[in-house]
Structures are given as structure tokens and as C-alpha cells.
Structure 1
Amino acid sequence: MIKVYGIKNCDTVKKALKWLSDNHVEHQLHDYRVDGLPADFLIQAERQFGWQNLVNKRSTTWRNLDEKVKKTLEKNTALQVLTDQPTLIKRPIILQEEIALIGFDETDYQSAFK
């Protein structure tokens, strides 16, 4: 079963979940708000995608983030900020069984789930 990390009311997560359902890919949503974040998840995601790609700069959370935090964000502080503000994490994320996807792109999903 594929675990999809995200937030259930996020439009992009909804698109990914719908695509997975429509294509008969067994999956489960891990909602950051409800289920929290596993301690090693962000570390693994950062290794795979880089901390810059984990930060969703189009989110309301980013727009509301203190300017000082935005200007001084770097690898050493990013994971802590993302842990404190999980809605700042780009979503959805799938990291398992040789599959590493961030965001939703139908072409990427088609390639990953042939």
C-alpha cells in the first residue's frame, strides 16, 4: 500500500488521491494535521528532494511566515521550521518502494505506477 503524505483538504492532494483511486493504486493518506510527522520522514524527504523543494512558497503558511524566518531559512533551520509548520511542506509526498514523488504531476504518477 502506498502512503501519501499531505493534508486531506489540499486540492493537490485531492487530485493525487483521485488519480490513485481512478488507477486502482492501493493507497492511504497520512494527514500531517491529524497523524503528525514521523521524526525520520522529513530527514528522508530532505535527502531525496532537497530542503528547498520541500518548502511550499505558494502556501498561505509561507505568506504568513515571519519575514526574518523567510530570509534566514537554510538547511540547518528548514527542517525545524517545517516540523513546526507542517502546512509549509509541499504536498503530496510519496516516499517508498523505489517511488519518490513530490507534488502532483499526472505524467510522473503514470511513470511511477505502471
Structure 2
Amino acid sequence: MSFDSIDKLNREFERCYNNGQVKEAVTTYASDGRLFATDKQVYEGLSQIEKYYTDARAAGNSKVELHTGQVIQCGSDYFIEISQYKINTDGGNYVVVWKKDGGQCKKIIDIFN
């Protein structure tokens, strides 16, 4: 895995989310992934993360852009991504811990502000 692999997964998340395919977008998360959102809640597991993003789209946050910044490899199976996002006209920073699982990377921790 590399910067290009993480960036490709970010493009997949964007495409699915922006097309209203939230369930497909959430497949970038591990089944036990955790999302630490700006509402100060922690969403654990795919169903809670999917609900968060479904509610975000329903609130009008329909377009996301992820700008992959730095990807740091930590051992053979973990990567830390430090990047920026834009949702509609708002934006911020995020950190994702990715874990290689069966040859594929999944988000296990996602925190943004």
C-alpha cells in the first residue's frame, strides 16, 4: 500500500458519497471502524457510520472532496493519513488510521474537525 492506494480509496469514497451511495462509500471503513465527528460523537461500526453519513447528506452536505495530503506507513499493516476535506463550501482537516486487512486497506479510526 502507498499514497496512491490511499488516494484511490479516497476517490472511491468521494464518488460513492457524492452519488448518494452512502452504503458503498462506507465500505472504505473496517467493520469495527470508528468515526470521531465534529458533533463530538463517536460512531462505531458500519451501521452507525452509515447513519452519520446518511444524516449528513439529508442535512444538505451532498458534496465532499478529500485532498489526500501525507500518508505515513507504520509497520507493515498500518498507515496514517493526514489530509484536508471540503464539504460543500466548508472544510477542515482529518486524520485517518488505515489498516491493511486481507490485502485491502480499511479505515479503523477517522477523526476530523
Indicate whether the TM-score tops 0.5.
no
Give 1 or 2 for the bigger CA radius of gyration.
1
RCO comparison, higher one (Cα < 8 Å, 6+): 1
Hey, which of these two has a bigger chunk of helix by percent? Answer: 1
Taking structure 1 as the reference length, the TM-score comes to: 0.30
Hey, which of these two has a bigger chunk of strand by percent? Answer: 2
Taking structure 2 as the reference length, the TM-score comes to: 0.30
